[in-house]
Amino acid sequence: MSGNIELLNTTLAATRAADRAALIAYLPAGFPTVDGGIEAVKAVIAGGADIVEIGLPHSDPVLDGPVIQTADDIALRGGVRIADVMRTVREAHEATGVPILVMTYWNPIDRYGVERFTAELAEAGGAGCILPDLPVQESALWREHADKHGLATVFVVAPSSQDARLATITAAGSGFVYAASLMGVTGTRASVGAQAQDLVGRTRATTDLPVCVGLGVSNAAQAAEVAGFADGVIVGSAFVKAMLDAPDEAAGLAAVRSLAGELSEGVRKR
């Protein structure tokens, strides 16, 4: 069965044609529970998210700050497994028709088996994977199987990436490019910073792929700022924090749906 890279491509083309950025939401699988995590994904989509990234919880999430680390810890202590990640992708996609990607560090895929992981992700209706710690020069096996199964391979670029390095990364990727707005870990920031705009410009000089910006966006004003120069606005920690801060699951679902609505308005005010 083929994955949904084409759905991802057409979704990003449609938002560009509408002269706005895409809103891309991140939530970890298994948080606060597997069922609760699936409902949270549905809630952010109902609020206005165009694309969703499902995090595969990891015991040492080097790119992620304390908010997502806390959610990952809750999911792992709850016993979340890769099968639960696939179930989250399947049920969220079947319920909404929205492209769903998995964001994961490389080690869990390597241990699970690349062929097995890509085949199961495609069968679940996934659109691809974001792989923040997989070096491009070591990605041939992954890309072979991802291409075979119709899955996007999204690499992360950072402000420290030199232009030649950017060209190497973007030539190997598909779907979109994830531009980290600043050096550091995930988390909300008071400002997103000029580094992000410079990085988007330098990345676009190397590729026709959409360039989507993550790390730091937490409100409509920041979303509008980033939407002024990027093809997509990626928000993770703000959604997770809304769930963590809620007194119960129902309140958390209402909070993430409301936040998605605010951010969705923001990306339309570029």
One of 39, 50, 64, 72 is an active-site residue; which one?
64
Report the 3 state secondary structure along 8-56: HHHHHHHHHHCCCCEEEEEEECCCCCHHHHHHHHHHHHHHCCCEEEEEC
**Is the torsion defined by CA of 131, 135, 138, 140 positive or negative?**
positive
Question: Angle formed by the axes of helices 249-267 and 34-47, to 10°?
Answer: 30
**CA 254: distance to chain centroid?**
21
| Distance between CA atoms of residues 39 and 41, nearest Å | 5
Give the tokens for residue 57. Answer: 């919880």
Is residue 138 annotated as a catalytic residue, yes or no? Answer: no
The residue whose two tokens read 């992620």 is 64
Is residue 208 annotated as a catalytic residue, yes or no? Answer: no
Picking from 87, 84, 98, the residue whose alpha carbon sits closest to that of residue 30 is: 84
One of 53, 84, 91, 120 is an active-site residue; which one?
53
| Distance between CA atoms of residues 162 and 159, nearest Å | 8
| Distance between CA atoms of residues 15 and 263, nearest Å | 14
Enumerate the active-site residues: 53, 64
